[in-house]
Amino acid sequence: MQAAAASSVGARVLGEIEEASLDEVSTATAATTTTPATAPNDPDSAIPPPTAALPQTFPIPRLHDLVTRHFRATHSAPLAITGRHLALLHTLIATLLAAPHRHTVALVDFTARFDPLRLLTSGHPALTRADLAHLHIARPARGPPAHTARCVAAMEDHMLYAPHASRARPWWGTVVVGGGLNPAAELPGAAATAAPGGRVAVTADWKGWLRVDRAEVPAFWDLGVEEALRDREGRQRAVEEAGWVGVSAWG
């Protein structure tokens, strides 16, 4: 019974998250690009795109400082995460969606591994189920760089022009998971100019300039085999409580 109830709750929560295939995004965008949809509080303007020239403002101060230092050194705006990237993405996106920021976020996931329900367990006290409706997810298949560029452009056009439910919120930017984007450039090929003012704010893939890993946990050297087996839960608890660390050349 408990498993069935949990499954039912999960299904309801997922139903509140705007998730679509690339074909659905492209179709909806094509139907609306000639007459851009507008925000409810400003009937004469479309949802504003993120600023393309500079890095986005990250709601986590230390992360924002790191991205700013990287941009000043390299003139490359995106935050490029590698390693155990999901932990940082959960925290970042939950913070963006929740009060007081209340942004909307586009996420293009080529790995199909990003679970939006994890945001509810990210530890952000202000995040509500209603906030999840403003996370827009597309899960296209993997492909060459030109395919990645088209997928990102279609998602960003969707955010700019489609009549979705997040038009009253500022669009923070696009997160790309597993798309093979070059972290030294904003977008590959055609995607660099595909959406007016649009760009990728975060990439998460095998290559990046910020590596996320579990914090080091002291070894239990004095335990015998039987003691180690008995204290398995304690060791797992120590790993979970150790948290995460990010390592980069910029701090």
Cis check: omega of the bond before 100, within 30 degrees of 0: yes
Q: What is the CA radius of gyration of the chain?
A: 20
Taking the model in full, what pTM does it have? 0.72
Which amino acid is present at 130? Answer: A
| Token representation of residue 109 | 């996931």
Q: DSSP secondary-structure letter at 19?
A: E
Is residue 103 within 8 Å of residue 133, measured between CB atoms?
no
Give the pLDDT confidence score for residue 222 in this predicted structure: 59
Give the pLDDT confidence score for residue 187 in this predicted structure: 47
SS3 at position 49: coil
Give the pLDDT confidence score for residue 223 in this predicted structure: 58
Q: Which of 92, 114, 245 minimizes the C-alpha distance to 179?
A: 114
Q: What would you measure as the largest C-alpha separation in the chain, in angstroms?
A: 71
Sign of CA dihedral 169, 202, 245, 225: positive
Q: Which helix (H) or strand (E) holds 200?
A: strand 200-204
The tally of CA atoms less than 13 A away on the side-chain side of residue 226 is: 0
Q: Each residue's pLDDT tens digit in the chain (251 positions)?
A: 444 444 444 445 445 455 555 555 555 444 433 333 334 444 344 555 554 457 889 999 999 999 999 999 988 888 999 998 999 999 999 999 999 999 999 999 999 999 999 999 888 889 999 999 999 999 999 999 889 989 999 999 999 999 999 999 999 999 999 988 765 444 443 344 333 335 789 999 998 999 998 766 555 555 565 665 566 665 555 545 556 677 888 87
